[in-house]
Structure 1
């Protein structure tokens, strides 16, 4: 009798587990869809903030990331890097930070090295 009771419990649990797995799969699919929409909205917000789209936005982000990596590779911490800029917003009407050949923090260093 104990065997049948255990078998019945196992069957019930298997059904319960299968039902929960189906629910989880459905919820995961919805979560993935929501996350995709969330990420798209963030990209739109970034594009709007920097007035850039598509390849231009990608290039600007990539360039900034490369500059951060150079600074980190040079031994700077994130707080050191944060200290390089003031917290004042960029003034409108000034040079576009995403011009065709922007100056970077390293331009000055390379110029000094080439002059020596």
Structure 2
């Protein structure tokens, strides 16, 4: 889940100034929608995960900038720029990166514990 979030944040940052997409109009910030996903019951404990329900476009207003020389300027000389706030994206990037690292650390710790349990069982 965090890997997808990192990918979307990277895409948002890369397209922060894209005023024309193949679909037409400026790029809109993309955000994932997650839901809790019940994986299994193990020894009376429920193990939950996360699944992606959708990737949606943020519907906050686009930025309007006066630049009559821009090729995508409207009749009044204004250009619609993506609704990407670089400060928010950088904060989200750091948060997602740390969560991803924490998940990897937890996974590796669990893997080592399982290996140790298997080696105890073999002796």
Q: Aligning the two structures, in what range does the TM-score lie when normalised by the shorter sequence? A: 0.3 to 0.5
More RCO (CA 8 Å, sep 6+)? 2
Q: Could you tell me the TM-score, scaled by structure 2's length?
A: 0.31
Q: Could you tell me the TM-score, scaled by structure 1's length?
A: 0.33
Which of the two has greater helix per residue? 1
